[in-house]
Structure 1
């Protein structure tokens, strides 16, 4: 697999590290932050996801399961959140898995298609680089074209195609 490079140079992609602030496509001030140690704002965000915003069974549907899942992500992974004011509107995590890390990213439906996912994934990958991670992978439903385009824009390449899912990966 080829190492993703910046368009203007031959050096490996260096992603920005949180914290950072930007204005999304809806003119909202969004902050990407690596301080995701409080589970309550994440539980609140995930509790507001509707059925069509869930992928591969995540986030879980019921609040006790959401709490358990969020707790595991915060304990085991590297996490970044997107905030609009005091509300968490996006969350991404890198969870250790053997000699690599699995990436998961979620943006609340009211904030999708506004550029938040792009900033969130790049902030997460920068956070992973700063912690010495060297490889990241994910799985995505092959019908989720928006997510696949986001991952490709961050340098991920398809490494495995199975029935309804693709596995994508990239070195850091």
Structure 2
């Protein structure tokens, strides 16, 4: 990922909705955690977000002074080439469907590509049709299914993007 702040705070307008994507800050964590809890049946603990706070792949979308979405991503070496991983991603339910999630993921993919990372993976609940549709629109493909991946026994789809 790029050093923190390199592309931070660029204002974007999609479908008449103006928002900025920037690096997450400590003051954003409570809002991020609230979005996490509103989005997932088994949310990450607050401390997980604290651990990623200084990582360059922790971005937030801000609309009118309110955090409305976030993404946590990184890359790891894998047999001589880095592979990106979207670890967590959500948009507040009241702000979905206006392009914020698409923009957050496009920004993440672009930053990873600028670091030479051209393969990115993520896990998604097999029942999360809206997310699966978004990922497919961005070029992710289903590679495999991991049975009982989630704590409630639900399967995960492993989806991969190759630039």
Shared fold (TM-score, shorter chain, > 0.5): yes
Normalised to the residue count of structure 1, the TM-score between the two structures is 0.72
Q: What 5-or-longer segments of structure 2 have no aligned partner? A: 1-6, 148-154
CA drift at 1:113: 1.7
Deviations 1:89-115 (A, max 9, x none): 111121334522220211111111222
Tell me the SS of whatever aligns to 2:70.
Answer: strand
Whether 1:167 and 2:162 are equivalent positions in the alignment is: no
C-alpha contact (below 8 Å) 1:41/1:87 kept by paired residues: no
| Unaligned runs of at least 5 residues, structure 1 | 1-16
For the Cα contact (< 8 Å) 2:17–2:98, is it kept in 1? Answer: no
Shift of 1:49: 5.0
Do residues 143 (structure 1) and 127 (structure 2) align? yes
SS at match of 2:112: helix
The question of 1:123 aligning with 2:107 is answered: yes
Higher relative contact order (CA 8 A, sep 6+): 1
Larger mean Cα displacement after TM superposition, 160-169 or 91-100:
91-100
Q: Distance in 1 between matches of 2:95 and 2:68?
A: 7
CA drift of 1:170 comes to: 1.6
C-alpha contact (below 8 Å) 1:139/1:168 kept by paired residues:
yes
RMSD across aligned C-alpha pairs, in angstroms? Answer: 2.3
**Does the alignment pair 1:42 with 2:32?**
no
Residue 84 of structure 2 contacts residue 120 of structure 2 at CA under 8 Å; is this kept in 1? yes
The answer as to whether partners of 2:139 and 2:161 remain within 8 angstroms in 1 is yes
- Equivalent residues, number: 145
TM alignment of 1:16-95, pairs within 5 A: 19-25=9-15, 27-33=16-22, 35-36=23-24, 38-47=25-34, 49-51=36-38, 53-54=39-40, 57-58=42-43, 60=44, 65-66=45-46, 68-76=47-55, 78-95=57-74
Q: 1:48 to 1:126 in 2, by over 3 A?
A: closer
Q: When you count strand as a share of all residues, which structure comes out higher? A: 2
